[in-house]
A and B are shown apart, each in its own frame.
Chain A
Amino acid sequence: MLKHAGVEVDDRGIAMRDDRQLILPLARFTTEREVEQLANEAQEQLMARGFAASNLNSLVSETFAELALNAAQHSESAIGSLGFIQFYETDHGNRFVCCVADGGIGIRSSLERNPEIRQQIFYDWDAIEFAIKERVSGTGSPYRGIGLFGIAEDMRRAGRQLIIHSGIGMLMTTEEVERSSTRTGLFPGTLAFASIPA
Chain B
Amino acid sequence: MKSVNVMQLLAKRVLVTRDSARTLQDALDAELARADREVAIDFEGVEGLTPSFVDELLQVIEESRKRSRHISGLRVVFLHPPTRLSGKFAAIGRAHGWLFEEATDGSWVVAVPAKAPDSGLTKAS
Which residues of A are in contact with B by a Cβ distance under 8 Å?
Answer: 32-33, 35-36, 39-40, 42-44, 47, 54-55, 57-59, 61-62, 65-66, 69, 114, 116-117, 133-147, 149-151, 153-154
Contacts and interface: CB of A to CB of B under 8 A. Distances in A.
Interface of B: 12-20, 47-52, 55, 59, 82-84, 86-89, 91-92, 95-96, 119, 121, 123-125
B48 A65 contact: yes
B124 A136 contact: yes
B83 A146 contact: no
Contact of A39 (B14, B19, B92): B14
A139 B25 CA distance: 24
A69 B123 contact: no
B125 A135 contact: yes
B125 A146 contact: no
Nearest to A42: B14
A113 to B, nearest CB: 10
A65 B14 contact: yes
Contacts of B95: 135, 142-143, 146
A144 B52 CA distance: 8
Contact of A153 (B83, B84, B87): B87
B88 A153 contact: yes
B55 A62 contact: no
Contacts of B47: 43, 47, 54, 57-58, 61
Contacts of A55: 82-84
B125 to A, nearest CB: 4
A39 B125 contact: no
Nearest to B121: A142
Given A61-B14, A136-B125, A146 B55 contact: yes
A32 to B, nearest CB: 4
B91 A134 contact: yes
